[in-house]
A and B are shown apart, each in its own frame.
Chain A
Amino acid sequence: MMESKEKEYITSVGEGIYSINTGDWRINEPVLDQEKCKKCGLCFLYCPVFCIEKKDDYYEINYDYCKGCGICARECKSGAIKMVEKGSSSYAKN
């Protein structure tokens, strides 16, 4: 048992997950056109933050932590992802 006095010097490792709101960073944000999407999964593989989520038979962008780097739009071979100014898309939550 750890005495209360000891607790002042020794802290348990990890009181939770350290996370910052990187969704705040983006200037432009990706918009995925489901009709043009060929479901190849390249955007899913290359998103550094793993923002693209795989649903059963389609992909969806989770905007919570998206930094807006634009890799998904650049790598998409069918041109289904476009970068638009933040807030101007109806898909994005913010």
Chain B
Amino acid sequence: MRETIETLSNNKELISPGISACVGCNVELTLRTVMRVLGPNTIIAIPPGCMGGVGVVGWNKKSGANVPVFFPLLDNTASMLAGIKAYYKKIGRDINVVAFAGDGASVDCGFQSLSGAAERNDNIIYICYDNEGYMNTGYQRSASTTRGAWTSTTPVSKEKVGGKKQHKKDFPMIMAMHDIPYMATASPAYIPDLVNKVKKAMEVKEGLAYIHVLNPCLTGWGIKPNESIEVSRLSVQTRFFPLYEVVNGDFKLTVDIKKPKPVEQYINKIKKFSHLSKDDIEEIQNYVDKKWNKLKMSCVEGGRNDEQ
């Protein structure tokens, strides 16, 4: 952790100090942390989504970052960056070409271009901040939303009937199955882990590096601002969102949860799940256990014990 603090405090801030992300937003934390690690030799693309909306891409002739920022469409982020990288390769300049996209622009709409870039081995770093929905347009559901969750397009009646009917798409695994050189999941509650993963992604010089970050959305999910990090941590400690990495096809848990907390603890912190019955929670718990066991079987070695 000491090393992480050194890295972060020595590196320059590259994002505008005043961006209008919600109070306590952990996507803002993720973006600032990631950018401090990546450094000034970076080109970043932010498709429409929360981070585009809060002013990182700039407004009224002014830029929201100290590095070149692109504002691609919701569905062409990866392919546009592939072109930018190809040009820099041609003129012989080594540069980090980075996408910072939401789950809508990666898991739903942007999937085709992202999958294409992964298959073509385009050398870009793709970071997806997964807040489980289209949060800046009014909390609509996405393929990444957890089963049972309230969203504005999966409403819940007074009799507590409704919510999303399908399970969350296991997107990190889909990206790992593209056989890209580096795939990792990360959480804003485990910053040293996140920093290490970004550093590893920067070392990839051949092929796509993908990092999937689960960012609980305070306004959309109904979480108190000061519990932002606590809920993120619970998502890992309940095995709901395991932290692992896949380097050249080898799976490894980076934070091993030996004694998981029940998923109920995580769900009870979040208002969008407040209508769920015992059966619904058990269904999610079973799904989480099944996914964890599958992941555990793929892992070559266990990670370090959970320290926090």
Q: Which residues of A contact B (CB under 8 A)?
A: 11, 13-23, 25-26, 41, 44-50, 54, 64-65, 67-71, 73-75
Q: Which residues of the partner chain A approach B191 to less than 8 Å between Cβ atoms?
A: 45-46
Q: Say whether A71 contacts B225, CB under 8 Å.
A: yes
Check B62 against A22 for contact (C-beta < 8 Å): no
In B229-271, the 8 Å CB interface with A consists of 229-230
Residues of B that sit less than 8 Å from A by CB:
1-2, 4-5, 8-9, 13, 16-21, 23-26, 28-29, 32, 55, 58-64, 66, 68, 188, 191-192, 225-230
Across the interface, B61 reaches (CB within 8 A) one of A15, A19, A70, namely: A15
Q: Known interface pairs A45-B191, A48-B25, A48-B32. Does A22 touch B18 (Cβ–Cβ under 8 Å)?
A: yes
Are A70 and B24 within 8 A (Cβ)? yes
Residue in A18, A47, A71, A74 whose beta carbon sits within 8 Å of that of B16 in the complex: A18
Residue of A nearest to B191 (CB): A45
Q: How far is the CA of A22 from the CA of B115 in the complex (A)?
A: 38
Is B29 within 8 A of A48, CB to CB?
yes
Contact present for B9 and A18 (CB under 8 Å): no
- A11: contacting residue among B20, B28, B61, B229, CB under 8 A: B61
- Known A-B contacts A18-B16, A54-B9; the reply to A69 vs B61 at CB < 8 A is no
A49 to B61, CA, bound (A): 23
B284 to chain A, nearest CB (A): 26
Indicate if the CB atoms of A18 and B55 lie closer than 8 Å: yes
Distance from A6 Cβ to chain B, minimum over Cβ atoms (Å): 16
The 8 listed contacts between A and B (C-beta, < 8 Å) are A11-B61, A19-B17, A19-B64, A22-B20, A48-B24, A48-B228, A54-B5, A70-B226
Residues of chain A contacted by B66 (CB below 8 angstroms): 17
Contact of A44 among B5, B24, B25, B26 (CB under 8 A): B5
Q: Given A74-B230, A75-B229, do A13 and B55 touch, yes or no (CB 8 Å)?
A: no
Query: Max chain B CB contacts within 10 Å: which of A48, A67, A70?
Result: A48
Given the interface pairs A18-B55, A71-B228, A74-B229, the reply to whether A65 lies near B8 with Cβ below 8 Å is no
